[in-house]
Amino acid sequence: MGFKTDFLWGGATAANQSEGGYNKGGRGLANVDVVPTGEDRGPIIRGKVKHLAFDEDHFYPAKNAIDMYTHFKEDIALFAEMGFKAYRFSIGWTRIFPNGDENEPNEEGLAFYDEMIDELLKYGIEPVVTITHFDMPIHLINAYGGWRNRKLVDFYGNLVTVLFNRYKGKVKYWITFNEINMILHAPFMGAGLVFEEGENEEQVMYTAAHHELVASALATKIAREIDPDIKIGCMIAAGQYYPNTPNPEDVRKAQVDNQSNYFFVDVQARGEYPAYALKELERKGIEVPFVEGDKELLKENTVDYVSFSYYSSRVSSADPSAYESTSGNIFPTIKNPYLERSEWGWQIDPLGFRITMNELYGRYQLPLFVVENGLGAKDVPDENGYVEDDYRIEYLQKHIAEMKNAVEEDGVDLLGYTSWGCIDIVSASSGQMSKRYGYIYVDRDDAGEGSLKRSKKKSFDWYKKVIASNGEDL
Ligand code: BG6
C-alpha cells in the first residue's frame, strides 16, 4: 500500500514571492513589498529596523517577482502538464482589502483570484489556499502596530468571511497562517512587528502569536458556519531538533526547542495552551492577553489537518558556544557532521523528514499535509532555458522515498505533497531569484533583469513521472 489514490501531488508558491503586480488591480501596499534584498533584509525581517516605504538605495524583489499576476494561465497550464492534483498558493491580503480595515472588499482583487481558481478547476487541480503567507497591509502596521493589536483579529475575520463565502464549493483546503512559528524568528514577516527601542520583544511576539492563534480559531469557526465541507489546516516550519550529544543537558535543550515549535500546533490542534508553555511564559513574566471567550473559541475550533514545511532537521546544544551557526539559516542550529548542506547552508536530511512526520503524527493523530519541501539551488540554463538539475531530482527523490516510508511503514495519514517553489520564485529569506526551487525555470536574475520566459528543467519530466505513478517511480 503506497500513497492514497487521491493523494494531492503538486506544488506551492506564495503571493508575495510570485505575483508581483504590486500596484495593479487596486492592490494596497504590503509589508513584504518594502523588504529589500541585501544586508538590510535580515534586520528588517526580524523587526529590528523600521523600514516601511520604498527608497532609492534598495531593490525590492516582491514588487514584480515573477509577475504571476499576468502569467498565471501559462503557469497553471504547465502545472497541469506535470499532472498536478493540487496547487498551493496564497492570497495577497492587500488585493482584497488594500488597507486591511475597510468594510468592503476590492472587487478587482477578488476577480483576480476568481480567475485563478477557475483556471485550476478547469484542469481538475485542487486549490490549497494559504490565507496569509508573510503578508499583510502596511496600513495595519502603521495604524495598529501589526498583530500586536487585537483589532487585527477582526480585520482577519472580515477577510476570511469574504473568502469563504466567495469560494464556497470551490476551495476545500485552507491554511490560516503560513509557518505560524516564524513569528518568533522573523516577526516582521510573520506578524508585521517592528520593535520599539527597549520594549520587551518576547512579550510583543507572544501577544501577536496569541492574536494569530485566536484569529485562526475564529477563521475555523467562520469556515464551518459558511461551508461544513471546508478543511482548515494550521502550518508550521517543521524540522526536528536533535540533541548535539546524548548528554541529558543537550537532550533537554532539544526538547525545549521542539516544544517552542510545537507550541503553536499544540494550541491549534489540541485547543489549549500546553502546560509547558504556560509555565515558561509565567517564569518569563509574559502575559498572554486572553479575553473572555478566547479559551472556548480555541477549544471548540481546532484544525482538521496539520500542514508543514520541511527543509531540514536542526541540532540543539546546551552549550551556547557550540552554535557556530550555519549560514543562511533563520532557525539557529549547529552543523550536523552527518549531513551535507545546500549552497545556502541548509542541512539535507531525508530521514529527518520521516522522523519529523512521525513526531507530528504521533503528537496530534491528525492527517498531515506536506505543503513545502525542496532544494534551493543555483541553476545554469542552456540557451533554451533548459537546466539539468540532477541535484534537485536527487534531493526530492530521497525525501519522497522517506515520506513514503512514513506512510507505508509507519502508518502516517498523509493528504498530499506540494513541493516548494514549483516554478522559480523569489526567496523569502534572501530575496534572491538565484535560490531556485522550481521544475520550471524563470528568466529573471537577482537584480530583477530578464525576460520572465518560462522553460522546463529536467526535473519537470521527472516529477511528471512521479505523479503519474503515484510516487512509485522515483
Ligand atoms: C518557508 C517559507 O520558510 O521556506 C517560504 O514558507 C520560503 O516562503 C521557503 O520561500 C524557502 O525559503 P527560502 O528562504 O529559500 O525562500
Res 325 pLDDT > 70 = no
- Rounded to whole angstroms, the Cα distance separating 319 from 167 reads 50
The alpha-carbon radius of gyration of the chain (Å, integer) is 21
Q: Is 296 exposed, middle or buried (0-12, 13-18, 19+ CB in 10 A)?
A: exposed
What is the distance in A from the centroid of ligand 1 to the CA of 174? Answer: 19
Distance of CA 254 to the CA centre of its chain: 23
Distance of CA 343 to the CA centre of its chain: 21
Which residue lies with its CA nearest to atom 15 of ligand 1?
Answer: 427
Ligand 1: which of 66, 310, 312, 372 to mutate, judged by most atoms within 8 Å of the beta carbon? 372
Instruction: Report the pLDDT averaged over residues 226-250.
Output: 97
- Rounded to whole angstroms, the Cα distance separating 12 from 456 reads 17
Instruction: Report the pLDDT averaged over residues 38-51.
Output: 94
Q: Is 394 a catalytic residue?
A: no
CA distances from residue 457 to 85, 286, 469, 472 in whole angstroms, order as listed: 20, 50, 20, 21
Q: At what angle do helices 248-270 and 201-226 cross, to 10 degrees?
A: 40
Q: How does strand 440-442 pair with strand 305-310?
A: unpaired
What is the distance in A from the centroid of ligand 1 to the CA of 178? Answer: 10
Res 428 pLDDT > 90 = yes
Which residue lies with its CA nearest to atom 5 of ligand 1?
Answer: 428
Instruction: Note if the pTM is more than 0.95.
Output: yes
Res 332 pLDDT > 80 = no
Instruction: Report the pLDDT averaged over residues 253-269.
Output: 97
Which residue lies with its CA nearest to atom 3 of ligand 1?
Answer: 237
User: Which residues, other chains included, contact 293 with Cβ-Cβ below 8 Å and sequence gap of 6+?
Assistant: none
Neighbouring-strand partners of residue 361 = none
- Rounded to whole angstroms, the Cα distance separating 357 from 406 reads 7
- pLDDT value at residue 240: 97
- Rounded to whole angstroms, the Cα distance separating 403 from 352 reads 10
Number of structural domains the chain divides into:
1
* Nearest partner of 459 among 474, 472, 444, judged by Cα: 474
Res 331 pLDDT > 80 = no
Res 323 pLDDT > 90 = no
- pLDDT value at residue 198: 93
CB 300 within 8 A of CB 271: yes
- Closest atom of ligand 1 relative to the 427 alpha carbon: 16
- Rounded to whole angstroms, the Cα distance separating 378 from 267 reads 38
User: What SS3 string covers 186-207?
Assistant: CHHHHHCCCCCCCCCHHHHHHH
What is the distance in A from the centroid of ligand 1 to the CA of 425? Answer: 10
Ligand 1: which of 427, 432, 436, 446 to mutate, judged by most atoms within 8 Å of the beta carbon? 427
The domain of 341 spans 8-468
What is the distance in A from the centroid of ligand 1 to the CA of 290? Answer: 31
- pLDDT value at residue 333: 78
Instruction: Report the pLDDT averaged over residues 343-353.
Output: 95
Task: With respect to residue 1, please indicate whether it lies within any of the assigned structural domains.
Answer: no
Task: With respect to residue 346, please indicate whether it lies within any of the assigned structural domains.
Answer: yes
Evaluate the CA torsion angle 51, 52, 55, 57 in order and state its sign: positive
What is the distance in A from the centroid of ligand 1 to the CA of 431? Answer: 10
CA distances from residue 303 to 177, 216, 265 in whole angstroms, order as listed: 12, 9, 9
Task: With respect to residue 474, please indicate whether it lies within any of the assigned structural domains.
Answer: no
Task: With respect to residue 3, please indicate whether it lies within any of the assigned structural domains.
Answer: no
Res 327 pLDDT > 60 = no
CB 199 within 8 A of CB 272: no
Res 105 pLDDT > 90 = yes
Res 227 pLDDT > 90 = yes
C-alpha grid cell for residue 117?
481558481
Share above pLDDT 90 across residues of the chain, in percent, rounded to a whole number: 96
Q: Is 443 exposed, middle or buried (0-12, 13-18, 19+ CB in 10 A)?
A: middle
- Rounded to whole angstroms, the Cα distance separating 295 from 32 reads 32
Task: With respect to residue 438, please indicate whether it lies within any of the assigned structural domains.
Answer: yes
Q: How confident is the model at residue 334 (pLDDT cuts 50, 70, 90)?
A: confident
Task: With respect to residue 473, please indicate whether it lies within any of the assigned structural domains.
Answer: no
Instruction: Report the pLDDT averaged over residues 227-252.
Output: 97
pLDDT averaged over every residue in the chain: 96
Res 446 pLDDT > 60 = yes
Neighbouring-strand partners of residue 306 = 234, 368
Res 329 pLDDT > 70 = no
CB 136 within 8 A of CB 146: yes
- Closest atom of ligand 1 relative to the 344 alpha carbon: 15
C-alpha grid cell for residue 430?
534572501
- pLDDT value at residue 53: 95
Q: How confident is the model at residue 322 (pLDDT cuts 50, 70, 90)?
A: confident
Question: What's 234's domain CATH number?
Answer: 3.20.20.80
Q: For residue range 369-378, what is the model confidence (pLDDT) as tens digits?
A: 999 999 999 9
**CB distance 372 to ligand 1 below 6 Å:** yes
**CB distance 376 to ligand 1 below 6 Å:** yes
Active-site option among 292, 372, 394, 449: 372
Task: With respect to residue 284, please indicate whether it lies within any of the assigned structural domains.
Answer: yes
